[in-house]
């Protein structure tokens, strides 16, 4: 069943004490408030076990920010799906735009990472989206189509239903720029139509597609009200409980 989700990507932020404090603040918020969406966080890898311990009795799922496509071996600095699975992590982001930009990840890498996660029963949050140059050139529909097909269309229908997709226009990440709700809805509907054409409308309607691109407390409700937008992948605003909680409340009536 399609879920409403607000996921916080902490990126490379917070020392241990500050990360613990933020987790405790989120725990207290969850204890004292009813939320109309699922809440996920993706802290730095060093803090994953702490997060699982803090949220063990709370409805907050914990995700890695990245995972290796390889099962094990001589891959210094990498973290395997078996490693995160062994400590109870719920899933991982896959091919965030910063992984593409700084580490040369492609959708072929994404495909292998998505499969690796699904093989051990974990949830991939697959990220895609166009650059500013591609948007200005009118290539955004084709770019997102190619990304989605390469990364996901080798999966079975049962497998793809377990994937969360995060559309993140690269030009709107950390820039203060935000796609209008209409622009975001247009691409979300496009992604869902691609999945429907491949797997059928029933499968497409089960997949949560999140928007990731400078979602803020003051625009969350309008963005989340779009028919094909099922939540947000939140960056900077996830680092302050005041902002993150207000975004979560974007799903409140």
109 is catalytic: no
> pLDDT category, 214, cuts 50, 70, 90?
confident
- Would you give the end-to-end CA distance of the chain in angstroms? 21
pLDDT digits (tens, 9 = 90+) for 109-147: 999 999 999 999 999 999 999 998 899 899 999 999 999
User: What mean pLDDT is predicted for residues 50-79?
Assistant: 97
Q: Residue 250, annotated ligand binder? A: no
Q: Residue 236, annotated ligand binder? A: yes
Query: Can you give the pTM of this predicted structure?
Result: 0.96
What is the pLDDT at residue 171? Answer: 83
Q: Residue 174, annotated ligand binder? A: yes
What is the pLDDT at residue 50? Answer: 98
> pLDDT category, 77, cuts 50, 70, 90?
very high
The total number of structural domains that make up the chain: 1
User: What mean pLDDT is predicted for residues 54-72?
Assistant: 97
C-alpha 151/C-alpha 93 separation (Å) is 13
Contact of 106 with 145, CB cutoff 8 Å: no
Q: Express as a percent the part of the chain with pLDDT over 70.
A: 98
> pLDDT category, 15, cuts 50, 70, 90?
very high
What is the pLDDT at residue 10? Answer: 98
Q: Residue 9, annotated ligand binder? A: yes
pLDDT at residue 196 greater than cutoff 80 = yes
Q: Round the average pLDDT of the chain to a whole number and report it.
A: 96
What is the pLDDT at residue 172? Answer: 79
What is the pLDDT at residue 132? Answer: 87
C-alpha 59/C-alpha 50 separation (Å) is 15
Q: Residue 97, annotated ligand binder? A: no
140 is catalytic: no
C-alpha 200/C-alpha 205 separation (Å) is 9
96, 109, 140, 188: which is the annotated catalytic residue?
A: 96
38, 61, 105, 168: which is the annotated catalytic residue?
A: 168
User: What mean pLDDT is predicted for residues 163-175?
Assistant: 87
Sign of the CA dihedral running 63, 220, 210, 183: negative
**CATH assignment of the domain containing 53:** 3.20.20.70
| Domain hosting residue 214, numbered range | 5-251
């Amino acid at each position: 069943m399609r879920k409403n989700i607000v996921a916080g990507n902490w990126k490379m932020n917070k020392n241990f004490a500050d990360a613990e404090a933020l987790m405790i603040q989120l725990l207290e918020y969850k204890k004292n408030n009813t939320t109309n969406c699922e809440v996920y966080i993706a802290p730095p890898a060093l803090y994953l076990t702490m997060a699982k311990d803090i949220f063990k009795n709370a409805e907050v799922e914990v995700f890695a920010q990245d995972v290796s496509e390889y099962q094990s071996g001589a891959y210094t600095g990498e973290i395997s799906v078996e490693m995160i699975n062994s400590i109870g992590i719920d899933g991982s982001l896959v091919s965030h735009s910063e992984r593409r930009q700084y580490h040369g990840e492609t959708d072929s890498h994404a495909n292998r990472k998505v499969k690796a996660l699904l093989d051990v029963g974990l949830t991939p949050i697959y990220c895609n989206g166009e650059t500013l140059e591609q948007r200005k050139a009118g290539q955004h529909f084709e770019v997102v189509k190619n990304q989605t097909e390469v990364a996901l269309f080798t999966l079975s229908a049962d497998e793809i239903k377990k994937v969360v997709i995060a559309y993140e226009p690269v030009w709107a990440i950390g820039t203060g720029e935000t796609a209008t709700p209409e622009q975001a809805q247009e691409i979300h509907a496009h992604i869902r139509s691609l999945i429907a054409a491949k797997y059928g409308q029933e499968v497409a309607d089960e997949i949560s597609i999140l928007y990731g691109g400078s979602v803020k407390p003051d625009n969350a409700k309008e963005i989340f009200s779009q028919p094909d937008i099922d939540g947000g992948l939140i960056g900077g605003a996830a680092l302050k409980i005041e902002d993150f909680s207000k975004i979560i409340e974007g799903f409140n009536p």
